[in-house]
Amino acid sequence: MSAARSKLVLCVIDAMAPAMLERAIEQGVAPTLQRLWQDGIYVPDCVAAFPSVTPVCAASIVTGVGQDAHLIPAMNWFHREEHRYVEYGSSFRAAQRFGITRQLTDTVYNMNRAHLSPLTPTVFETLDDADVRTAGTTYLMYRGRHRHEPQRDTALTRVASALMRHPVMGPRELFYADIFASRRTGCRSGLGMPGLRDRHSGCVSAYMVENDLFDFLLLSLPDNDWYSHKRGPEAQIQSLAQADLQLARVMNAGGGVEEFLAEHAMIVMADHSQAPVTATIALQDALGELGVLGPVRASESSFDAEPRIAVCPSQRAAMVYALHESERDAMRASVVALALAIEGIELVVWLERDAHEAPREGVIASPEHGELRFCPDGPVSDERGVAWSLDGALEVIGARIEDGMLRSPDYPDALSRVWSALACPNSGEVLLSATAGYEFIDWGRQAHVGGGSHGSLQASDSLGALILSGVAVPRPQPAQWAIRDVAGLVRGHFGLDGAG
């Protein structure tokens, strides 16, 4: 690591699609990203988690592990111990169904302090322990070693503090919407409203650069995802241009692009991508004959005797849970049979266990090609060097074996991603991935028809752009990069290889 470039900025541009980044650069509307692209290493196919939704991906980015270890399974999931749904913000109407206070509490507080595994340290925690000066803008995953109290210095923040009353543990410098701010900067976010979030991140990051307040900064630019949800993936050129302006703002605070890059290494990445949505799947309705548990607010009574499954849509993915352990296997079989016949569902995934309840093999099924069964360790390696035993139809994931290597370009890193999802103790009994063009409606009966979405195992949702500038990378480089590789790059940059 060059001493002159000892600082590091990890910039996450939510849903940045490689094709749209390349087009924005070609059209000259993203000159800052173009400069980084020219200076560094460009990876056009960095693989997301599955489901490829922001909470799961954000957890993998900051911990370096999949959800079998970090335990964040989806955008919407069922908490077995607490017998309730967890909703992280699929839509405002979905939040209303579960209760706004409950949704905010789960997203702002519980995701980090209760749901994210304490056994998987974040990059903030690892760097804090090494006395590296950490900083972060509004990002779902912020857990660190420093205590931050809610802000109450404006009328807006006093209103928010009625709901957000408790302190959090985050990086040394934390700016989370207007709720938490480690110091006064003059920057306001309108409580994190879409369309204002990138400007808030750019404002506070520029302030931190000007005042030399960090060695590591996670700079979150989430508005590209919101814009793409609304207007479709092809519209990302406009939102990437806006993200580029905020990157330029931060670099200008350090003397301009060249001077900034002389002192700062950069990682710019997507957490996932997006695909167009033209149709919907009402999974709650389609599985209604099995007895679906509806949203239950904390003030209401617990279970009715009738519901037998919980249905958890996460945009272009979904999970189904059996509510009663005694009928788990029967419910799984019933859900699988029904799901394979539902229009818009491409893949149905489940885990079979041995007599001791240990994972035995995963199953990926499709209506068209049948089943592919798999488990770790075996004669076939994938592009990341993970060995697998396989039995069944490779066509399920569009795979082929060449020279002993499994390749599945249409469903990248498919087996590791699916296995991690299945092995997560917070996942459902059955996982679903949507066909191209389809999205599962959320519990507010909302979807992004006419726009874009993500969540599925398909490459369209799962391959994001990654740019590395001034960061040491493994030699040889991975044949297939994944978002969970980034935490290791961050730790390694500060001489903490293997930490955490």
* Per-residue pLDDT at 499: 42
* Per-residue pLDDT at 404: 84
Lowest mean pLDDT among 34-43, 346-355, 481-490: 346-355
* Per-residue pLDDT at 21: 98
Can you tell me the mean pLDDT for 272-299?
A: 90
Q: What percent of the chain has pLDDT over 90?
A: 86
Nearest to 46 by CA among 22, 66, 16: 16
Compute how many other C-beta atoms are within 10 angstroms of the C-beta atom of residue 449.
15
Report how far residue 471's alpha carbon sits from residue 493's, in angstroms, rounded to the nearest whole number. Answer: 7
Nearest to 276 by CA among 315, 334, 328: 315
Asked whether 87 and 95 are in contact (CB, 8 A), the reply is: yes
Query: Which residue do the tokens 């006093």 mark?
Result: 158
Report how far residue 256's alpha carbon sits from residue 261's, in angstroms, rounded to the nearest whole number. Answer: 8
**Structural tokens at position 249:** 């703002």
Report how far residue 465's alpha carbon sits from residue 240's, in angstroms, rounded to the nearest whole number. Answer: 12
* Per-residue pLDDT at 358: 67
List, as own/partner pairs, every contact residues 89-95 make where C-beta atoms lie below 8 angstroms and the sequence separation is at least 24, other chains included.
Answer: 90/313, 90/314, 90/315, 90/442, 90/443, 90/444, 90/446, 91/442, 91/444, 91/446, 92/444, 93/442, 93/444, 93/445, 93/446, 94/442, 94/443, 94/444, 94/446, 95/444
* Per-residue pLDDT at 191: 61
Instruction: Identify the band that residue 464 occupies on the pLDDT scale cut at 50, 70 and 90.
Output: very high
Greater confidence (215 vs 298) lies with 215
Query: Which residue do the tokens 């911990």 mark?
Result: 63
pTM of structure: 0.94
Query: Which pLDDT tens digit goes with each residue over 154-209?
Result: 544 545 555 666 899 999 999 998 889 999 998 987 666 777 899 999 999 999 99
Domains of the chain (ranges plus CATH)?
3-72+116-274+460-493 (3.40.720.10), 277-453 (no CATH)
Mean pLDDT of the chain: 92
* Per-residue pLDDT at 162: 59
* Per-residue pLDDT at 419: 97
Report how far residue 103's alpha carbon sits from residue 108's, in angstroms, rounded to the nearest whole number. Answer: 9
Q: What percent of the chain has pLDDT over 70?
A: 92
Can you tell me the mean pLDDT for 409-432?
A: 97
Statement: residue 120 has pLDDT above 60:
yes
Apex CA 363: angle with CA 440 and CA 282, to 5°?
15
Statement: residue 304 has pLDDT above 80:
no
Nearest to 342 by CA among 418, 432, 448, 414: 432
**Structural tokens at position 5:** 């470039």
Can you tell me the mean pLDDT for 110-118?
A: 97
Lowest mean pLDDT among 23-37, 255-269, 348-362, 384-398: 348-362
* Tally of CA atoms within 13 A in the half-sphere of 194 that contains its CB: 13
Can you tell me the mean pLDDT for 308-331?
A: 96
Phi, psi of 17 (to 5 degrees): -80, 135
Greater confidence (477 vs 165) lies with 477
Instruction: Identify the band that residue 152 occupies on the pLDDT scale cut at 50, 70 and 90.
Output: low
